[in-house]
Every structure is written in structure tokens, then in C-alpha cells.
Structure 1
Amino acid sequence: MGNWIRNELCALTEENLNLLLDFKIPGIIVENFIPAETCERVAQRLRETAFDNYDHLKDIPVHHIGLCHNQWAHSEKPIYFDKKDQAQQVIDEIYDSLNIDPVAMVIDALAQTGRSVGLFEEPGFGQYFAGAFRSFRGHGRLHADHAPSHIKQPWSVTEISRQMTWNIYYSMLNTGGELVIYDTIHTAANDHMKVPGEYYFPYEVLEREDHLRIRPKVGDLILFNTQNFHEILGNTDGHRISQTSFIGLKQDGSLGLWS
């Protein structure tokens, strides 16, 4: 018997957020979170902007704009935080004159469930960056994201008890690009199955066939628990671009965002 009590994306409510944190549902959706016209304007600006690669990972088919903590999590802390202001400036320029702040909008939406929500902070350094853009082309292989498991140095984000993510989709591919979430939770017991030297796992790690396959729509906000194994299906055409960050559940029950 699996963990999920419903195999579908659910509305953003206090009850459903708790269920997601407890691995009882595959995800949450807020449709048309950003108007389609605004998404098209942002997508056009993004297509004209140079994306960086994840050079610390081999053969991962994703590029980004902004600052991604996992690239610098094994370096000295000032290296990451010295890059934050410049990364935020790039994001602000993409939204120039559009009068929206999607990261603040996500924080407000989550706060409506009754939890305290804000950007993650590192003592002595300040707030983390949140809200990177990511562009996928190709197969984002089966993996899970969980800072306490993957980061060996002491950062505030390694003190969380659960990890989720949010994504707002600005551009989708003509074919492919589906998100697939599996009803199998990453744990210390299955971590040894990770392909040596890679970021991904073989399908043998999956404990059951239960999964949800999602083709996101432009403008939608989708949240899911990144401790569930997941993948992005392969594609070669068009642009699949989203804005995203992780969401960590702190020991006091509050939520913190970081990219």
C-alpha cells in the first residue's frame, strides 16, 4: 500500500499543505497564478537572456538564471552570499515595469495556510536568494532533493525536517516536458542506490508503480515534495522555463524559501 491518499494535484489549503508535507498527496496546484499575458512577456525576456549551466553536475539538461545554492553548498559561505545581490538584480531586471514579485506572491499564498513564511536566513550572512529561473531541454533523470541528505557542511537549510519546491511555469515545450512524481520517498536507506558520480537514481529505487504525470500549463503554480523521487521527461524542442525555489520546513513549523 502506498503513501498517497489521493493521486492528483490538490488546492492550496492548510489541510493539503500538511498532507503534502506528510507525503500523503503528490502535489498542490494554483491555476493561472500569473496571467498568461505577463508570462509571455517574461518568457520573451528570458529567451533573450543568457542562462548559466550547472557545471557541478554531469549531463544534467538544465540551465538557470539567478543563484542556486547547491552549486556553492560545499564552498565557503561568503562565496554564495557575495553572489546574491547581483543575482537578484538580474531577476529584478527581468520583471522591470511588470509590477509583480512572484517570490513575494508565493510567500503570501503560503502564509494564507496559517504558517509563518519567509526567505531562509543564515546567521551572520543574512537572507538566501530565492526565485531562480530554470530552462529544461532533455531528460531530467530520476532524483530527489533534500538538503540535509545532500549537503555535508553546516548551513541553515540542512536543519529542515521536510523539503518541498514551488514552480511557476512561463513557457512550455511543444511536446514532452512532463513532471513525473513518484510515491516513493528518498531516505537514508535507499540513498546508496544513487548512480555513482551522478545526480540520479535507477528506477529500481522505486518501491511501487504509483506516480502522477503532470504537463504544467503556462501561469500555473505547482508545489510538490522534493523528497519524493521525480523526473522531467525528455524533450528537444521549444523552451520549458519555470521560476522556482525550495521550501524547507523548519523545526519551529515555519517555512523558509531558498534556491
Structure 2
Amino acid sequence: MGNWIRNELCELSAENLDLLLDFKIPGIIIEGFLPRETCDIVADRLRAMTFETYDHLKDIPVHHTGLCHNQWAHEDKSVYFGKKAQAQEVVAGIYRGLGIDPVQMVIDAIARRTGRRVGVFEEPEYGAYFAGAFRSFRGHGRLHADHAPSHIRQPWAVTEITRQMTWNIYYCMHNSGGEVVIYDTIHTAENDKMKVPDDYYFPYEVLDRQDHLKVRPKVGDLILFNTQNFHEILGNTDGHRISQTSFIGLKKDGSLGLWS
């Protein structure tokens, strides 16, 4: 018997967020979170930019703009935080003239609809993390799970969380491919041993069951899911699949913190 009580994306509410944190639903959606016209402008600007690679991950078909913590999590903390100001400057340029701050909009929407305290994660002595990286997929993002306490060996504020989710706003989706597939199998210390050696992904044998939800996002949608559920991004065959994203960690006091 599976964990999910519903196999669909649900509306954002306090009850559904609790269910998502408890692995009882596959995800949450707010359709049309950003207007299509705004997304098209942002997508045009992003397609004109040079995205960076994830040098620490082998053969992953995704590039990014902004700052991604997992790329620097095993360096001195000053390395990651030393890159934050430049990343924020780049993102401000992407938003120029649009009068939007999607990261703050996500924070406000979650806080308003769930009653939880929400903000950007802070690291003692260093300040706020960066949140809201842009990612461009071209190809298959293989089966994996994301959980900072399991995957980061050094002590950071984000390794003290009790649950981990993600949010994504989609700026560009082409005609085929690019679906996110969320599986009703939870990452654990035991199944972590099945990870492909020296790589980021897992074989399908890690799955407890075949129960899953395949979602093809629409431009402007906001989707949240639990990254401790195994998930993959199917191959995008005809161009960019661009989203903006950060992780969301559940702190021990019940509040939520964002970081990329």
C-alpha cells in the first residue's frame, strides 16, 4: 500500500501543506501564478544569457543562473556567500522593469495560505542564503532525491531541517517532453545505498512501487513537491525548459526557510 491518499496536485492550503510534508500527496499547484506575458519576457531574457554548468555533477543535463548551494556546500562557507551579491545582481537584471519579485511572492503566498512563518534561510555569522535560481533543462534529469541533511557532509543551517520541499515557477515549456515525474517512494538512509556510484542518480530498482504522478507544467504555474520523494525530469526534445526554483526546508520550530 502506498503513502499517497490522493494522486494529484492539490491547492495550496495549511492542510495540504501538512499532507505534502508528511508524504501524503504528490504536490501542490497554483495555476497562473505569474502572467504569461511576464513569463515570456523573462524567458526571452534568459534564453539570451549564458547559463552556468553544475561542474560537481557528472552528465546532468541542466544549466543554471544564480547561485546553487549544493555546488559549494563542501567548500568554506565564505565561498558560497561570497558569490551571493553577484548572483542577486544578475537576477535583478532579469526582473528589470517588470515590478516583480517572484521569490517574495512565493514566500507571501505560502505564509498567507498556510499561516506558517516563511522566509529565506539564514546562516549564523553569514546572513541570508540566495534563493530563486533559474534552471534550464535539455535532456533527462535522472531519478534522484534531494535532502540536505543526507547529502551535505559539513554543518550548515540547512542541514538542520526535518523535511525538504521545492517550489518551481515555469517560464518556458516547449511542445514535447519536460514533464516532472514524482514517485511515491521516499528517500531513506537505507535506499541511499543504491545510488549509482560517483553519480547523482538512482536506478529504478530503488522504487518501492510504481505509483507516480507525471506533470507537464504550464508557463506561469507554481508547483511545490517534496524532494524526499524520488523524482525525475523527462527529456525535453525541442528546446529549453526553464524554471525558477529553490528548496524549502521545514525547521524544527515549524517555520519554513528557502534557499537555492
Structure 2: gaps of 5 or more residues:
none
Matches within 5 A, 1:1-259: 1-112=1-112, 113-259=114-260
- AA in 2 matched with 1:38: T
Please give the alpha-carbon distance, in whole angstroms, between the structure 2 residues aligned to 1:156 and 1:105: 23
* Distance apart, 1:173 and its partner CA: 2.1
- AA in 2 matched with 1:31: E
Please give the alpha-carbon distance, in whole angstroms, between the structure 1 residues aligned to 2:19 and 2:93: 36
Please give the alpha-carbon distance, in whole angstroms, between the structure 2 residues aligned to 1:225 and 1:173: 25
Please give the alpha-carbon distance, in whole angstroms, between the structure 2 residues aligned to 1:35 and 1:27: 21
Structure 1: gaps of 5 or more residues:
none
* Distance apart, 1:239 and its partner CA: 1.1
Please give the alpha-carbon distance, in whole angstroms, between the structure 2 residues aligned to 1:239 and 1:151: 29
Please give the alpha-carbon distance, in whole angstroms, between the structure 1 residues aligned to 2:4 and 2:80: 37
Q: TM-score under structure 1 normalisation?
A: 0.99
The percentage of counterpart residues that share the same residue type is: 79
Q: Structure 1, residues 15-69: CA drift from partner, whole Å, max 9, x if none? A: 0000000000000000000000000000000011110000100000000000000
Please give the alpha-carbon distance, in whole angstroms, between the structure 1 residues aligned to 2:85 and 2:220: 26
* Distance apart, 1:85 and its partner CA: 0.5
Please give the alpha-carbon distance, in whole angstroms, between the structure 1 residues aligned to 2:190 and 2:237: 35
Please give the alpha-carbon distance, in whole angstroms, between the structure 2 residues aligned to 1:161 and 1:105: 24
| SS of residue in 2 equivalent to 1:16 | helix
RMSD: 0.4
Please give the alpha-carbon distance, in whole angstroms, between the structure 2 residues aligned to 1:173 and 1:232: 14
Please give the alpha-carbon distance, in whole angstroms, between the structure 1 residues aligned to 2:199 and 2:243: 24
* Distance apart, 1:234 and its partner CA: 1.2
- The 4+ residue runs of structure 1 with deviation greater than 2 A are none
* Distance apart, 1:174 and its partner CA: 1.8
Q: TM-score under structure 2 normalisation?
A: 0.99
